[in-house]
Amino acid sequence: DAKTTQPTSMDCAEGRAANLPCNHSTISGNEYVYWYRQIHSQGPQYIIHGLKNNETNEMASLIITEDRKSSTLILPHATLRDTAVYYCIAQYGQNFVFGPGTRLSVLP
Amino acid sequence: EPEVTQTPSHQVTQMGQEVILRCVPISNHLYFYWYRQILGQKVEFLVSFYNNEISEKSEIFDDQFSVERPDGSNFTLKIRSTKLEDSAMYFCASSRTGVSNEQFFGPGTRLTVL
C-alpha cells in the first residue's frame, strides 16, 4: 500500500500557484519523497524529488516539513496544461508504490 | 532530450496468446522497470531489472510474466498466455541508479485481450 495520503482532487485558477499537499507520517529516514504527474493515460512524468531539504527545479518547488511527515508541491504559475493527476511517493529503492493521487484541475 | 520509447502503442490479442511488449530505455540508464495500469486504477509496479537479472518483483509478476534484455538496447516484457484481466496500459521506465534517482517512463503500450 502507498505510504502517502493526498486529497482526491483540487482546483486552481490559471496563473495562480497550485499547492498540492501530501502526508507521509510513517516515512523512514532513508526514504525520498518523489512527485510525478500523469496526464490522461500517458506515462507518469517525473516532477521533483527530495530527502530533507526543500528543492526547486524548472517545473516546481518541493517543501518538506522539518519532521518529514508532510510535503507540499508548488507549481508557481499553473497553466491549463498542468491539469493532471499528481502522485506523491515516499520510497527507498526501486519499487515505486503509486497511490490514487490528487486530480488537479486548472481552471481558466 | 533522451526518452524511453515503447512499441507497439496498442496491441490487441486473443486470450491465451503470447505477447511481447518492447521498450528502449534511455541509453546510459542501468535500471529498468515495468508497471501496469488497469483502466481507471492505480499504476502498479511489476518488476525491476538490473545487471541482467530481476532485482525486485511484485505479486502480480507471476510465472506467466518474464522480462529480458535481449541486446544492448531493448527491454521486453513477455506475457505467456494472456488473460482478459491482463488488459491494461503497460509502462516501461528506466533510471540511472536504483536509489534516489528519478525513473523516466515511456508512453505505454495499451494491451487489449479479447
Beta bridge partners of A13: A107
Q: Give me the amino acid identity at B106.
A: G
Structure-model confidence comparison of residues B89 and A99, the more confident one: B89
Residue A37 is inside which H or E element, if any?
Answer: strand A32-38
Chain B contacts of A49, Cβ < 8 Å? Answer: 100, 102
Chain B contacts of A42, Cβ < 8 Å? Answer: 107-108
Percent of chain A at pLDDT exceeding 70: 97
Candidates B1, B31, B39, B42: best to mutate against A (most CBs of A within 10 A) is: B42
Alpha carbon distance B41, A92 (integer Å)? 23
Cell of A107: 481552471
Cell of A6: 493526498
Residue B113 predicted with pLDDT over 90: yes
Q: Which of A62, A97, A102 has its CA nearest to residue A82?
A: A102
Q: Which of A45, A39, A50 has its CA nearest to residue A85?
A: A39
Chain A contacts of B45, Cβ < 8 Å? Answer: 95-98
- B46, B34 contact by CB (below 8 A): yes
Neighbours of B54 (CB within 10 A): 12
Q: How far is CA A95 from CA A71, A88, A90, A92, B11, in A?
A: 20, 14, 10, 8, 26
Candidates B26, B48, B105, B109: best to mutate against A (most CBs of A within 10 A) is: B105
Q: How far is CA B96 from CA A39, A89, A100, B7, B112, in A?
A: 24, 18, 26, 22, 31
SS3 B92: strand
**How far does chain A reach from its first CA to its final CA, in angstroms?**
35
Cell of B1: 532530450
Q: What is the pLDDT of residues B5-27, one digit of tens each?
A: 999 999 999 999 999 999 999 99
Chain B contacts of A34, Cβ < 8 Å? Answer: 102
Per-residue confidence band for B97, with pLDDT thresholds at 50, 70 and 90: confident
- Do the chains contact at A93 and B99, CB–CB below 8 Å? yes
Contact B59/A at CB under 8 A: no
Would you call the peptide bond into B107 cis, given omega within 30 degrees of 0 as the criterion? no
Per-residue confidence band for A43, with pLDDT thresholds at 50, 70 and 90: very high
- Option in B55, B104, B106 nearest A94 (CB): B55
